Amino acid sequence: MTTATIIGSVPNGLSAAIVLASAGVSTKVIERNPQIGGACSTAEITLPGYRHDLGSSVYPMGIASPFFRSLPIHIPWIQPSAPCAHPLDDGTAVLLERSIEDTVANLESSDRCNYRSLLKPLVDRFPELVPELLGPIQHLPQHPLLLARFGLSAFLPAASLARSRFSGVRARALFAGLAAHSVLSLASPGSAATGLILMAAGHFSGWPIIRAGAQTLTDALARHLESLGGCIETSGEVTQLPDTDLILADVTPRQLLRIAGSALPSTYRRQLERFQYGAGTFKIDYALNSPIPWKAKECSRAATVHLGGTLEEIIASERQFTSDAPFILLVQPSLFDSSRAPAGHHTAWAY
């Protein structure tokens, strides 16, 4: 029988293991940590009873994922009433709503038509666009015209797209906050893609969280893998290539070099050695005795809140890592999932 070893138990690794086990391959997942999931995991790290996600919390592509939809597992998605809120200094917030019309209603009137014309074609054909975006980089497009239409805007720098499409502060700020998820400079070509995808996903299937935390997703994938005959080993760091027919390494470039450097082609090894990691992310977890008292009360309708101000302020903050006003991505899941904190209390975390 063909054997396979997956290094790393995050959802990508577990998903790969499920595909292999479903095909009759004897599959093992090895995880260095005692708890599976990596950044897709949950733990009580502040006070007892407060469940915090250690990395990912909100899944804009979760419900839209063709792979997740293909699995016979139950994922308890929770939909906040609005996917995302972006407060401004004037005491209001601009919201990405499930409905395009509800979204344009809280933009400046001059931007409403442009927002519709930019997003509606993507949302209307989002189920066809998703497999193109999530598939291999090199593949034969099934919907080349749709992908080309997306690409005309997606390959632009986010700042350029925001300024060329929108004239008002609110629309520009909303798009800048969404594009900032790319962890690219908003002046970088291609940074607009993330903003467009997140906007379209919000309108099509929302930005859900998962009941009881990200660990629920990881555990559901693990149970399904084990039902197919796959196995998972924890607390075992891989330091050399396993003796197996197939190895999938869901690790970072530096980890891959340590594990398999001598077995890799020299050209690929040099590419890994030259890989440049991006700026670090700082995360704070909060155990709260009450909900966050937002001045813009509509922020309480969203699990995800972008704190960064206007387009220009977000651009300025990313240029200066010592900025007193950094762009902050905040998540407040306990407003929609009471299992995250003791009764009457709340959790939040900010990056």
pLDDT of 308 above 80: yes
Give tens-digit pLDDT for 149-165.
899 999 999 999 999 99
| Nearest residue to 165 (alpha-carbon basis) of 106, 305, 174, 198 | 174
Mean pLDDT of the chain: 94
- What band does 147 get if pLDDT is binned at 50, 70 and 90? confident
322 pLDDT more than 70: no
Residue 306's identity, in one-letter code, is: H
Beta strands in the chain (DSSP E): 3-7, 26-30, 42-43, 52-53, 77-78, 82-87, 93-96, 209-210, 231-233, 246-249, 284-288, 302-307, 328-331, 346-350
Residue 119 predicted with pLDDT over 90: yes
- CA 351: distance to chain centroid? 13
Q: Please give the DSSP secondary-structure letter assigned to residue 135.
A: S
Give tens-digit pLDDT for 273-305.
Answer: 999 887 778 899 999 999 999 999 999 999 999
Indicate the SS3 state at residue 254. Answer: helix
pLDDT band at 146 (very low <50, low <70, confident <90, very high): confident
Q: Could you give the CA distance from residue 87 to residue 302 in angstroms, rounded to a whole number?
A: 11
Q: Which residue has the higher pLDDT, 137 or 196?
A: 196
Give the pLDDT score at 145: 87
Collapsed DSSP state (helix, strand, coil) of residue 304:
strand
pLDDT tens per residue, range 262-277: 899 999 999 999 998 8
Which comes out higher in pLDDT, residue 309 or 146? 309
- Inform me whether the pLDDT recorded for 77 exceeds 90: yes
CA nearest neighbour of 94 among 45, 162, 46, 164: 162
**What is the predicted pLDDT for the residue at 156?**
96
Domains of the chain, each with CATH number or no CATH: 3-60+66-72+210-274 (3.50.50.60), 110-203 (no CATH)
Query: In Å, what is the CA distance from 288 to each residue of 44, 292, 331, 333, 349?
Result: 13, 8, 13, 12, 10
Q: Which residue has the tokens 């977000």?
A: 314
Q: What is the pLDDT of residue 181?
A: 92
Which of 195-199, 224-228, 320-324 is predicted least confidently? Answer: 320-324
**Residue 303 has which token pair?**
């699990």
Question: If we measure between CA atoms, which residue out of 88, 33, 86, 72 comes closest to residue 55?
Answer: 33
What mean pLDDT is predicted for residues 63-91? 96
pLDDT of 321: 66
- Estimate to the nearest angstrom the gap between the alpha carbon of 261 and the chain centroid: 29
Whole-angstrom Cα distance, residue 289 to residue 343? Answer: 9
Lowest mean pLDDT among 43-52, 182-191, 256-265, 315-324: 315-324
In the chain, the amino acid numbered 31 is E
Query: Distances from the Cα of 213 to the Cαs of 6, 35, 169, 287, 330, in angstroms?
Result: 24, 14, 34, 15, 15
> Per-residue DSSP letters for 29-86?
EE-SSSSTTTTS-EE--SSTT--EESS----TTTTT-HHHHHSS----EE--SEEEEE
Query: How many other CB atoms sit within 10 Å of the CB of residue 101?
Result: 11
